Structure 1
Amino acid sequence: MKGIIFDFNGTMFLDSHLHEQAWFYMVKKYSPKAISDKDILINIHGRTNKEILTHFISKELTGEEIEKMSFEKEAYYRELCLKNKDELKLTNGLVDMLNQLKATGTPITIATATVKENVDFYFDIFHLEQWFDFDKVTFDDGSFPGKPEPDIFIIAANKLGLIPNECLVIEDAFSGLTAAKKAGIGKIIAIDPLGKNRSLFEEKQLGSDGIITDFTTFFEVIAS
């Protein structure tokens, strides 16, 4: 593979529980609906805020209401991150992996369903500029449909000057893995840190090029 595209949340930063907590807060505040385990897997992780808000709160939300609620959710999420400073670290093995990729000049970028404010936050907290060009990061700016549609990975590959088939994607979300498959990504690695989704990924043939729990085994997996 000529380039690597990383998902961020739940992949590079194990923060899925913090996003879930923020969404539980928002749905409880604005909707009588409850969030099931299936909802978390299918309708939250990897989805854009607009898609999540219209699914759980109302399909009639205006653009202004979506923007306001999205801002509220992400501000609350970042507050949770800062309250749990001991968790503000990149996934085990990732720093070494990124340093190796930088040393070999491998083109890399991030494709995330999150918003620009969070990407700014991550670059500040984790000093991602050591490895990534901010201008090549693809995030939710409202200009394309979210995962499981393939657009985000097609755009990310293009920013690397590559076609999707020349790229490897690392993803933790069902919707993200589905999007990578639809995009025609050359190799797809699933990351399942807690071992909760391995059977589903295998059943749906997602992450067929390997499933990892962290990045300490990444190079072994892609070499096998």
Structure 2
Amino acid sequence: MINTMIFDFNGTMFFDGGIQKESWGEFLKEEFTCTMTESEFEKHVAGRNNRDTLEYYSGRKISDAELEVLTNKKEQIYCDMCLSRPREFHLVDGLTDFLSVCLKNGIKLNIATASERSNVEFFFKHLNLEKWFDIESVSLNDGTLPGKPAPDMFLRAMENVDSNPYNSAIFEDSVSGIQAANNANAGKVILVKDPDLDVVNMPANLRTDEVIHDYSHVGETLMKRK
């Protein structure tokens, strides 16, 4: 029986793939004078934490202090883009109703995101996430866990709401995120696709139990384990 919903945030609760690509592209051009390819975005950016991405583009290990400086530069570009595009900066269609129905039916909710605390606070402030989530329970990138495709962030998100993989459904949009959900042995794995973006090249060996484009028709089947 599925009694817990665990969400990645970017690209799953908020379709920000376009903004992510633009903000990373602008940042990488300014900081490393390089151009990000679509393949690089899928493999080294989407779903990854900033350290993984920045060390890939720099070609070396970076210190914690440098990571903080570079992350702040990149995230400022991203946040400015979000706020400048109110037509895009909103939760995915049907999600608010789905979250409210989950709470009404005693379903536990949490987020597992590669974003840092500052970004999570930004999303909570501007998208009113406190209606459904406790920010102190969110599993985020605090430097203590390996990034996806390791399952640790999802496992912590479950633990923080007293749940377990068998009873949890994970909502993800990236290859590394789906890999992490598989590695966590989640009861259900749901792939969320942004209809305005190119199809993600998902490896055939990864399990996805359902594919959705919004939350308008997410039904009771998600509460039951196959």
In structure 2, relative to structure 1, the CA distance for the partners of 1:202 and 1:56 (3 Å cut) is closer
Say whether residues 1:26 and 2:23 are aligned partners.
no
Partner of 2:66: 65
Contact 1:190–1:206 under 8 Å retained in 2 = no
Which residue does 2:185 correspond to in 1? 184
Cα distance in 1 between the residues matched to 2:49 and 2:157? 16
Q: Which residue of 1 aligns with 2:78?
A: 77
Matches of 1:35 and 1:78 in 2, distance apart?
Answer: 19
- Larger relative CO (CA 8 A, sep 6+): 1 or 2? 2
- Encode CA deviations 1:150-208: one digit per residue, 9 max, x unaligned: 1101111111111212210000111001001001111100011227336x33723342x
Instruction: State the alpha-carbon separation in 2 of the partners of residues 67 and 202 from structure 1.
Output: 33
Structure 2 SS opposite 1:5? strand
Deviation of 1:32 after TM superposition, in Å, equals 4.2
> Does 2:29 align with 1:54?
no
> Could you say which residue in structure 2 is the equivalent of 1:128?
129
Decide whether the 8 Å contact of 1:122 with 1:128 is kept in 2. Answer: yes
How big is each residue's C-alpha offset from its partner over 1:126-151, in whole Å with a ceiling of 9 and x where there is no partner?
Answer: 11111111111111111111111111
Aligned counterpart, 2:140: 139
Of Structure 1 and Structure 2, which has the larger fraction of its residues in helix?
1
Query: Aligned AA for 2:44?
Result: N
* Partner in structure 2 of residue 216 of structure 1: 216
Amino acid across the alignment from 1:84: R
Q: Is the 8 A contact 2:175 2:202 kept in 1?
A: yes
SS of 1:69's partner is: helix
Q: Secondary structure at the match of 1:215?
A: coil
Q: Which stretch shifts more, 209-218 or 25-34?
A: 25-34
Letter in 2 for 1:181: N
Structure 2 residue aligned with 1:196: 198
Whether the 8 Å contact between 1:3 and 1:108 is mirrored in structure 2 is yes
Q: List alignment gaps of at least 5 residues for structure 1.
A: none
TM-aligned CA deviation for residue 40 of structure 1: 1.0
Q: How many residues get paired?
A: 222
Aligned-residue sequence identity (percent) comes to 31
How far 1:80 sits from its partner (Å)?
0.6
Q: What value does the CA root-mean-square deviation take over the aligned residues?
A: 1.7
Name the TM-score, length of structure 1 as normaliser. 0.93
2:219 alignment partner, SS class:
helix
* 1:44 match: 45
| AA at the equivalent of 2:199 | N
- Structure 2 CA distance for aligned equivalents of residues 149 and 160 of structure 1: 20
Q: Whole-Å Cα distance in 1 between the matches of residues 220 and 104 of structure 2?
A: 18
Alignment-mate amino acid for residue 31 of structure 1: F
Off by >4 Å, runs of 4+ in structure 1: none
What residue in structure 2 maps to residue 10 of structure 1?
11
Give the alignment's TM-score, normalised by structure 2: 0.92
